């Protein structure tokens, strides 16, 4: 242990900085050398925040970091320590309630995380030790263990594939929980290993853990009989990632290379942090203003108290005790200051926080109860995981959405194909087809079609040029093809009859399956791959066999893939399919025009288009290509570049046969939802792990990219084009795009957020994961900062942004970049897979889709909805209303407490600054808890200042509350001025009445408690009726709580003052209320003061003229009813 630490300190451990060495099966290599096992972390996963021991101190520390909680704690301690005019209970009980409820909620959430961690860590796994298969818990796995995984199991850590039950040494994997793709990916074993792993003696040298899912560099040294070790290169195709699932393979063996928190899945996990809404930040800002007002009041009263005492002798009835006389003067002044603070403390009521918590908690049920969110397919509705962010749904400026499973259903469907310029379209019902031949100029008859030989060549290409595998199902029944409609261009008798046994396809890309199924419609069925032989069933029900020689895999730079096959007759054919931009330059140019029109029309319709070409290879050509490919695949250095050169050399002078159109079906109403969200002023970014072409066509189909959109592309392909270094090319492209999209763009009018809504050019931006890595982590820090700023400015001036080939952590980095940009815009992330968890946790608001990719996104989200279309109502209706309600609640609370405490402050000028309360202790305690709390709570839950249907139909209404419009300083000052005005009216109106204190018929004089009670009565009625004036949507609950609160106040006052309470030392209000109401003057002044206070509001509603196209209510400044809104529209 000591030696290891010394080595670490003095550089002896230097080798581990860049790479790690792993001993397969913990065996010394070579066998005669001393073996010191390296130390790596265990396989334990930890996502929880607290432990039993640190929960209480850590949680209390986090809660008291909130300025409000800390403030109320100080006030409570002051009330306990200092002799103050009010009881400590008034502050202590509400504070205790808030702290307890929050702690219980957070403790329960963390307990669920602990439970989930235990399930993962205690999962049983099979490990090979000394030739024996033993079971151990997942958390006990160590780097170097040889692990056995069976079909449909999840890989417990990152493994290098050593052995597979499949004859060809491959296995199939789904990575839905990592990158959202549910397609099967093929992984390969390390070649030429011992069949019995017990005798395998090998080491693996690989890079240190890093989060990129698509990168892995390593090599394996295999030791045999004291010879020089054999070296095998290792790449991503050999690495099985934790969280992925084994499919269509009975069993595999792999050696653990990364475990626990060092796995790529764990490195891509973004820890859950406490999210705070913009409203909470506004409350804190307003709180500081009112704290300043409170301290100012206390300072003024303390100063004036000692000024007044210096001019007046001590009254005979209130002489100081000896102890008071001996007290230090400065200490006495400080104590008086604290007493005034406590007396005026009600200007910042803790009850506001209780009401806000209740409003958020109860309000969240309306989302869960909304019947429009119920999905009959999964028989579930919306789910609310946190109620803290309801109002944030009304403030969203940027939406980051996943593509697969969120925008689309991840369900590719073959639509049509074009062979030699003739269109072959799937006919539905009696719809007309537009088959035509471009080469002939005018449109031809529908019946015309390409020659049978070309048709069959094209269909063979579809059946052979792919990496699809056939999985035979034991389930008997009709194949999907049985439900296919008639296909134009081929006679119905030529369509393949359904086989007796249902056959399933698995592939790395869903569009490959769609093409194979498309070929089935036209009579060619792929039967599978057996021992490097591909079998297809043609139209004549004959089985054709082709030997698979090489697969030239798809990559994002070439954007095409090819296969080399040998037919029974010995002909060697190369079939190639890919994007039009990558195929057209590789074929004879005279053939291109026949196909181009079809491709462009299909791309415009939002379909995923692929072109198909072929080439005959002579024996010499094939021999050279075969030798070059084998040599490139064995290279340890620059393997990808060498393979690319061979691929490009082979894929030339091809003959173009035709093109296909495949549709990745969009989610229901996806395009309408995107249009509504953009109309509301939100910018939509698509972040996907998918290929660029597929993602781009989805963006067109959703309407995020329009026909006239000019796409600015910053991808690996564009960086390779210029012939310069990637860094230099990146710099040039960023400057070029910045000039186009930012410098040369026309100025945007106020209130218009999308550039295409103004006269000007429409830009869309596309970036891939590799280019983003260069932008975010440039070689120099100054360059990196400059690139980030350029990148952000370009993106913010584009109508939509597409980020493809993104690793989960890169998605979170993009969200963080925008979240922390100038203006701190509110961000929302929406996704359905575990690969979206990082960005869901990073954004201000995280939305999970209850899709097919497991429930990781749903568990980690703030809100979960069944379908993308539900996002429209969630934001435009629920979000809008929640924000308006809580904004009004916050402003109203500060207003009503300013009204409440200002008369108390003014009263000190008339009572010698003696800290005499104006109101009875019962009134002080009950004002916020009982008399005025229920009406504003009901308002904040039920108010609809604009009807939900109007909000959904007019998405532009969402813009009018954007950027925290209803909690800005202008409105806050309006409410504060209103509170001061009402407080002055209450106090001096009653003071004017008391200029003649004999207010009863018998000449009895009213005292100070009567004065305070009249002020309090006017106060309660005015603030409650003010809320009634602001209410636009009346329900029986509103009526009940508003009129019920006023009735309860009257009843309580009679009851409290009408009985002698034995537990009270001083019963100050005994019959005060009843006597007050026996005076006609008191009745008159109460009614007059209420009317005088509310008169400006009533006049404002009646006389104010509407401005702009939508007359609307902003808080209570411009209260217009929905009825008025409809009339003026």
Write the DSSP assignment of 381-402 as a string of letters. --EES-STTGGGGGS--EEEE-
Whole-number pLDDT of residue 746: 65
Query: What residues pair up with 136 in beta bridges, in sequence order?
Result: 125
Q: Residue 23's closest CA among 33, 13, 14?
A: 33
* Res 560: pLDDT: 87
Can you spell out the DSSP letters for 1038-1079? Answer: HHHHHHHHHHHHHHHHHHHHHS--TT-S--TTTTHHHHHHT-
Q: Which residue in the block uniquely carries the two structure tokens 């990364």?
A: 258
Do 861 and 185 meet the contact criterion of CB atoms below 8 Å apart?
no
Whether 809 has a pLDDT exceeding 90, the answer reads: no
d(CA 291, CA 632): 72
Task: Determine if the pTM surpasses 0.95.
Answer: no
User: Residue 689 in contact with residue 768, Cβ under 8 Å?
Assistant: no
Q: Greater confidence, 1090 or 448?
A: 1090
**Given a cut of 60, is residue 894 above it in pLDDT?**
yes
Helix (H, G, I), strand (E, B) or coil at 509: coil
For residue 67, count CB atoms less than 10 angstroms from its CB and return exposed for 0-12, middle for 13-18, buried for 19 or more.
middle
Average pLDDT of the chain, as a whole number: 78
Give the angle 1035-1037-1041 at the CA atoms, nearest 5°: 130
Query: DSSP letters of 609-620?
Result: EEEEEEEEE-HH
Higher pLDDT, 1090 or 495: 1090
Q: Residue 17: its pLDDT value, please?
A: 45
Nearest to 896 by CA among 945, 943, 937, 946: 937
The values of phi and psi at residue 257, to 5°, are -115, -35
Lowest mean pLDDT among 260-264, 699-703, 871-875: 699-703
pLDDT band for position 497 (cuts 50, 70, 90): very low
- Interatomic CA distance for residues 174 and 181, integer angstroms: 7
Among candidates 40, 39, 42, which has minimal Cα distance to 4? 39
pLDDT, residue 999, reads 57
pLDDT over 60 at 1062, yes or no: no
Give the pLDDT mean for 550-565. Answer: 83
DSSP state of 333: H
Residue 1115: pLDDT band by 50, 70, 90 thresholds?
very low
- The one-character DSSP state at 876 is I
Q: Where are the beta strands (DSSP E) in 442-559?
A: 469-476, 501-506, 525-530, 533-537, 543-552
- With a pLDDT cut of 70, the percent of the chain lying above it is 80
With pLDDT > 90 as the criterion, what percentage of the chain qualifies? 11
List, for residues 736-754, the tens digit of each pLDDT value: 888 887 777 665 543 444 4
Contact 696, 802 (CB under 8 A): yes
Contacts of 1058 (CB under 8 A, 6+ apart): 1071, 1074
Band of residue 255 on the pLDDT scale cut at 50, 70, 90:
very high
Question: In the predicted model, is pLDDT for residue 254 greater than 90?
Answer: yes
Residues whose CB is less than 8 angstroms from the CB of residue 929 and which lie 6 or more positions away in sequence, other chains included:
94, 351
Quick one: pLDDT at residue 920? 77
The pLDDT value given to residue 490:
38
State residue 461's pLDDT score. Answer: 92
DSSP assignments along 598-667, one per residue: HHHHHHHTT-EEEEEEEEEE-HHHHHHHHHHHHHHHH-SSSHHHHHHHHHHHHS-SBEEEEEEEEEEEEP
Summarised one tens digit per residue, pLDDT across range 700-712 is: 888 888 878 888 8
Residue 112: closest CA among 272, 275, 277:
272
202 within 8 A of 29, measured Cβ to Cβ = yes
Q: What is the pLDDT of residue 642?
A: 83
Residue 1118: predicted pLDDT? 34
Q: Evaluate whether 380 touches 810 at the Cβ level (below 8 Å).
A: no
Q: What is the pLDDT of residue 729?
A: 82
pLDDT (tens digit, 9 = 90+) per residue, 1039-1048? 999 999 999 8
- Measuring CA to CA, which residue among 851, 770, 849 is closest to residue 807? 770
Q: Between 473 and 801, where is the model more confident?
A: 801
pLDDT score of 565: 93
Whether 402 is catalytic: yes
Question: From CA 764, how far away is CA 710, in angstroms rounded?
Answer: 6
What are residue 655's phi and psi, to 5 degrees? -110, 125
The predicted model gives 899-928 an average pLDDT of 80
- Identify the active-site residue in 110, 388, 402, 768: 402
**Could you report the per-residue pLDDT of 352-361, keeping only the tens digit for each?**
877 887 888 8
Identify the helix (H) or strand (E) that includes residue 566.
strand 560-566
Rounded to an integer, the average pLDDT of 138-162 is: 91
Distances (CA, A) of 805 to 385, 479, 555, 712: 29, 34, 11, 17
Q: Is the pLDDT of residue 1127 over 50?
A: no
Q: Which of 1037, 1071, 828, 1085 is nearest to 934 (CA)?
A: 1037
CA distance 650 to 552: 10
Q: Does residue 898 contact residue 976 with C-beta atoms inside 8 Å?
A: yes
- How far out from the chain centre does Cα 66 lie? 25
pLDDT-derived band at 179 (thresholds 50, 70, 90) equals: low
Residues 6+ apart with CB under 8 A from 305: 336, 912, 913, 914
Beta partners for 956? none
Please give the Cα distance from 932 to 1019 (Å, whole number): 10
C-alpha–C-alpha distance, residues 814 and 686, integer Å: 11
Number of Cβ within 10 Å of residue 94's Cβ equals 20
Q: Are 906 and 980 in contact (CB under 8 A)?
A: no
Q: Which two tokens stand for residue 974?
A: 């309006």
Helix (H, G, I), strand (E, B) or coil at 1119: coil
Mean pLDDT of the 596-618 span: 83
pLDDT at 259: 92
The reported pLDDT for the residue numbered 253 is 92
Which carries the bigger pLDDT value, residue 1006 or residue 975?
975
What pLDDT was estimated at residue 1024?
92
Residues 6 or more apart whose Cβ sits within 8 Å of residue 363: 387, 390, 882, 885, 940, 941
Beta carbons within 8 Å of 630's beta carbon, 6+ residues apart = none
Q: Which of 559-563, 578-582, 843-847, 910-914 has the lowest mean pLDDT?
A: 910-914
Is residue 1005 pLDDT above 70, yes or no? no
Find how far residue 782's CA is from the centre of its chain: 30
Residue 434, pLDDT > 60, answer no
> Residue 11 has what pLDDT?
38
Q: How far apart are CA 988 and CA 970, in angstroms?
A: 27
């Amino acid at each position: 242990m000591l030696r290891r630490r010394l080595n670490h300190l003095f550089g002896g451990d230097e080798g581990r900085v860049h790479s790690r060495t792993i001993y397969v099966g913990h065996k010394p290599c070579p066998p005669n050398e001393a073996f010191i096992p390296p130390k790596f972390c265990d396989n334990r996963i930890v996502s929880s925040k607290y432990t039993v021991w640190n929960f209480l101190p850590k949680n209390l520390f986090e809660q008291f970091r909130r300025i409000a909680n800390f403030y109320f704690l100080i006030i409570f301690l002051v009330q306990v320590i200092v002799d103050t005019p009010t009881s400590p209970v008034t502050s202590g009980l509400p504070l205790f309630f808030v702290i307890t409820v929050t702690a219980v909620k957070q403790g329960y959430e963390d307990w669920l995380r602990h439970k989930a961690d235990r399930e993962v860590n205690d999962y049983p796994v099979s490990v090979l030790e000394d030739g024996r298969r033993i079971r151990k818990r997942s958390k006990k796995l160590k780097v170097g263990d040889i692990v056995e995984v069976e079909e449909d199991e999840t890989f417990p850590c990152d493994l290098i594939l050593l052995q597979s039950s499949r004859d060809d040494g491959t296995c199939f994997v789904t990575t839905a929980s990592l990158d959202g793709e549910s397609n099967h990916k093929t992984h390969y074993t390390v070649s030429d290993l011992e069949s019995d792993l017990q005798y395998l003696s090998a080491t693996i040298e690989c890079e240190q853990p890093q989060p990129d899912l698509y990168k892995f560099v390593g090599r394996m040294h295999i030791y045999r009989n004291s010879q020089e070790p054999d070296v095998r290169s290792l790449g991503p195709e050999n690495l099985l990632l934790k969280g992925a699932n084994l499919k269509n393979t009975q069993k595999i063996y792999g050696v653990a290379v990364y475990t626990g928190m060092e796995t790529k899945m764990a490195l891509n996990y973004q820890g859950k942090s406490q999210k705070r809404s913009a409203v909470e930040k506004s409350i804190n800002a307003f709180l500081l203003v009112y704290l300043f007002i409170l301290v100012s009041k206390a300072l003024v009263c303390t100063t004036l108290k000692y000024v007044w005492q210096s001019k007046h002798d001590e009254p005979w009835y209130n002489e100081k005790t000896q102890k008071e006389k001996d007290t230090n003067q400065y200490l006495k002044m400080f104590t008086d200051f604290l007493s005034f603070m406590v007396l005026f403390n009600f200007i910042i009521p803790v009850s506001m926080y209780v009401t806000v918590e209740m409003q958020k908690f109860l309000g969240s049920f309306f989302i869960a109860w909304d019947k429009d969110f119920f999905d009959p397919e999964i028989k579930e509705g919306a789910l609310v995981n946190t109620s803290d962010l309801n109002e944030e749904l009304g403030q969203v400026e940027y939406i980051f959405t996943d593509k697969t499973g969120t925008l689309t259903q991840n369900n590719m469907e073959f639509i049509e194909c074009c062979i030699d310029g003739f269109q072959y379209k799937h006919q539905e019902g009696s719809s007309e087809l537009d088959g035509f031949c471009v080469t002939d100029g005018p449109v031809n008859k529908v019946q015309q079609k390409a020659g049978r030989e070309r048709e069959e060549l094209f269909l063979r290409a579809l059946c052979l040029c792919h990496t699809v595998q056939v999985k035979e199902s034991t389930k008997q029944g009709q194949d999907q093809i049985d439900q296919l409609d008639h296909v134009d261009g081929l006679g119905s008798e030529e369509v393949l009859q359904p086989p007796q046994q249902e056959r399933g396809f698995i592939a790395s890309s869903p569009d490959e399956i769609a093409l194979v199924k498309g070929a089935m419609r036209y009579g060619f069925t792929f039967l599978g791959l057996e021992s490097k032989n591909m079998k297809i069933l043609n139209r004549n029900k004959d089985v054709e066999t082709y030997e698979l020689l090489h697969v030239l895999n798809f990559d994002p730079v070439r954007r095409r893939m090819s296969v080399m096959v040998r037919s029974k007759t010995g002909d060697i054919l190369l079939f190639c399919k890919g994007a039009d931009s990558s195929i057209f330059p590789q074929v004879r140019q005279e053939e291109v025009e026949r196909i181009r029109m079809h491709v462009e029309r299909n791309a415009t319709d939002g379909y995923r288009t692929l072109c198909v070409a072929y080439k005959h290879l002579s024996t010499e050509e094939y021999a050279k290509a075969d030798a070059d490919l084998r040599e490139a695949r064995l290279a340890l250095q620059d393997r990808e570049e060498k393979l690319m050169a061979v691929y490009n050399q082979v894929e030339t002078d091809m003959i173009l046969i035709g093109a296909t159109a495949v549709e990745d079906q969009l989610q229901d109403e996806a395009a309408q939802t995107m249009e509504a969200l953009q109309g509301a002023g939100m910018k939509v970014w698509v972040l996907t792990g998918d290929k660029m072409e597929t993602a781009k066509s989805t963006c067109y189909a959703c309407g995020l990219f329009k026909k006239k959109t000019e796409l600015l592309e910053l991808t690996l392909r564009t960086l390779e084009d210029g012939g310069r270094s990637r860094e230099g090319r990146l710099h040039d492209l960023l400057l070029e795009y910045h000039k186009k999209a930012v410098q040369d763009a026309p100025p945007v009018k106020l209130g218009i957020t999308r550039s295409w809504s103004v006269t000007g050019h429409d830009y869309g931006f596309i970036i891939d994961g590799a280019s983003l890595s260069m932008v975010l982590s440039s070689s120099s820090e100054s360059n990196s900062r400059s690139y980030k700023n350029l990148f952000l400015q370009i993106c913010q001036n584009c109508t939509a942004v597409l980020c493809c080939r993104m690793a989960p952590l890169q998605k979170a980095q993009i969200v963080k970049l925008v979240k922390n940009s100038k203006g701190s815009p509110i961000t929302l992330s929406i996704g359905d897979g575990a690969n979206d968890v990082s960005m869901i946790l990073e954004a201000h608001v995280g939305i999970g889709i209850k899709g097919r990719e497991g429930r990781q996104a749903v568990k980690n989200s703030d809100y979960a909805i069944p379908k993308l279309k539900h996002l429209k109502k969630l934001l435009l209706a629920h979000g809008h209303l929640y924000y308006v309600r809580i904004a009004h609640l916050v402003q109203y609370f500060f207003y009503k407490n300013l009204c409440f405490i200002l008369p108390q402050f003014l009263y000190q000028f008339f009572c010698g600054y003696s800290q005499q309360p104006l109101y009875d202790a019962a009134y002080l305690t009950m004002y916020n808890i009982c008399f005025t709390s229920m009406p504003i709570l009901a308002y904040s839950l039920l108010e609809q200042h604009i009807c939900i249907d109007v909000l959904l139909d007019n998405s532009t209404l969402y813009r009018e509350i954007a950027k925290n419009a209803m909690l800005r300083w202008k409105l806050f000052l309006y409410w504060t001025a209103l509170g001061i005005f009402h407080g002055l009216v209450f106090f001096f109106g009653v003071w004017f009445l008391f200029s003649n204190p004999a207010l009863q018929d018998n000449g009895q004089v009213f005292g100070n408690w009567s004065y305070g009670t009249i002020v309090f009565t006017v106060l309660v009625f005015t603030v409650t009726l003010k809320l009634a004036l602001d209410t636009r949507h009346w329900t029986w609950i509103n009526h009940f709580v508003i009129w019920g609160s006023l009735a309860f106040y009257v009843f309580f006052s009679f009851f409290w003052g009408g009985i002698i309470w034995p537990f009270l030392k001083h019963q100050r209000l005994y019959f005060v209320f009843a006597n007050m109401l026996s005076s006609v003057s008191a009745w008159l002044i109460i009614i007059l003061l209420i009317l005088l206070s509310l008169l400006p509001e009533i006049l404002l509603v009646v006389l104010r003229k509407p401005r702009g196209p939508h007359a609307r209510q902003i808080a209570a400044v411009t209260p217009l009813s929905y009825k008025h809104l409809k009339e003026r529209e």
